[in-house]
Amino acid sequence: MTLQIERRLQQPRWLSVAVPIGSIAFAFLVMAAVLGVTGHDPLHVYRDLFDSAFIAEGALTQTFVAATPLLFTGLAAAAAFRMQVWNIGAEGQLYCGAIGAAGVALQLGPDASSPLVIFAMVICGAAAGAVWGLIPGVLKTFARTNEIITSLMLNYVAGYILTWLIFDSASYWRDLSSIQARSFPQAKPMTENAFWPTLDLGSGTSSVVIPLGFLIAIGIAVLLHVLYKHTKFGFEVQVIGDSTRAARYAGMRTRRKILAVFAISGGIAGIGGASQVGDFSHTLDADPNGLQKSYYGYTGIVVAALGRYNPFAVCLVGFLIGGLQNAGFTLQGADFPSGLVGVMQGIILFCALGGELLIRYRVRWSSDAPVAAEEVQPASVEGVP
């Protein structure tokens, strides 16, 4: 009996639903063993997990908070990956968006009307993210550098700029108004007119608060869907992503499209940065152990992959992973070390990504030995001297 893995000739539609569900179920089975060994009751832990992600008082609100940045970075990655352009710089583009949004909000000051400030924050966040995203784009189209490396490196550059603005310089963003602020560096706080509103549903213990950023991300997903499915631009992006030679053959201006996609991708991540400032921190969080330790940009890559670059699936996956992260915070405690939370999240992501293989390939048990094309060790040949 041997195990054979062969490519599926057809990929039935039901598989793309069944495989992720099966993978998650499998992950929970594996995790049950880990929990059992470490002396926890798996069923109890899972109930807690689900409860603290979606059911308990305020759980959903916290999940929306955790999911919002993941939606932006996931959509940013998906927008680029669809064209086989590997922008993994959403992390840095998000920092730049935060810098841009915070800058314009400070510039407009406390007297500007709130909708104007919010609008300006979104636009400036997108612009800053797009500019940062265009750097690897320009390098790729004109100097033929590998965008994976350049966009990744620029994440660190953006992180250092962010830290420098508040900790190592007397920049516009830094609060220098008091002696205390001078000795303990911090960013200027936003005024209330730059706080983004929320959508409050329900009341009392069952109330759910959805941040504006989450809703903007859903809107971006709709726009991306229309852009990629129903416009000439989207058609060109698909052709270029599939074969640049075919695109050139068809007379498409591939360079411009690649630059546009970098700008779109960076812009979406940039709005994610604006949302961090406007929805949550209300200041530019430059602490190297703050925003920069959240790794939203990298998690977004996983979100995009699990959502198969489909904008709506990315939103759903982003929401679920947000729930998982939120539950992780709640679960950890004296008898439940944070390492175990990490193991659990890791196993779930690992199984979900690994399960993708089963959509394209199928595994078969066969009684006969498989084709052994690769093995080159001398074996006996019967009947031939």
Nearer to other proteins, 184 or 365 (CB): 365
Nearer to other proteins, 33 or 250 (CB): 250
Min CB(87)–other proteins separation in Å = 20
Q: What are phi and psi of 211, to 5 degrees?
A: -70, 155
Binding site for other proteins (CB under 8 A): 6-9, 230-235, 238-239, 242-243, 245-251, 368-373, 375-379, 381-384
Q: Are 305 and 318 in contact (CB under 8 A)?
A: no
CA distance 125 to 71: 16
Structure tokens of 70? 């993941």
Candidates 244, 243, 97; CA nearest to 162 is 97
CA dihedral for 88, 89, 95, 96, sign (positive or negative): negative
Structure tokens of 62? 């916290």
Structure tokens of 79? 């927008």
CA distance 124 to 273: 10
Min CB(12)–other proteins separation in Å = 14
Nearer to other proteins, 55 or 357 (CB): 357
Min CB(224)–other proteins separation in Å = 14
Min CB(267)–other proteins separation in Å = 18
Candidates 100, 158, 90, 145; CA nearest to 125 is 100
R_g of the chain, CA atoms, integer Å? 24
Min CB(231)–other proteins separation in Å = 5
CB under 8 A, 24+ apart: contacts of 169-175: 172/103, 172/106, 173/99, 173/102, 173/103, 173/106, 173/284, 173/286
Nearer to other proteins, 72 or 228 (CB): 228
Nearer to other proteins, 179 or 373 (CB): 373
Min CB(216)–other proteins separation in Å = 22
User: Which residues lie closer than 8 Å to 196 by C-beta, 6 or more apart?
Assistant: 118, 121, 211, 212, 213, 275, 278, 279
Min CB(385)–other proteins separation in Å = 9
Min CB(151)–other proteins separation in Å = 24
Q: Are 227 and 233 in contact (CB under 8 A)?
A: yes
Min CB(250)–other proteins separation in Å = 5
CA distance 34 to 31: 5
Q: Are 151 and 80 in contact (CB under 8 A)?
A: no
| Cα distances (angstroms) measured from residue 121 to each of 209, 267, 278 | 21, 12, 8
DSSP secondary structure letters along 184-196: S--BPBPPGGGSP
Helix (H, G, I), strand (E, B) or coil at 200: strand
Min CB(240)–other proteins separation in Å = 9
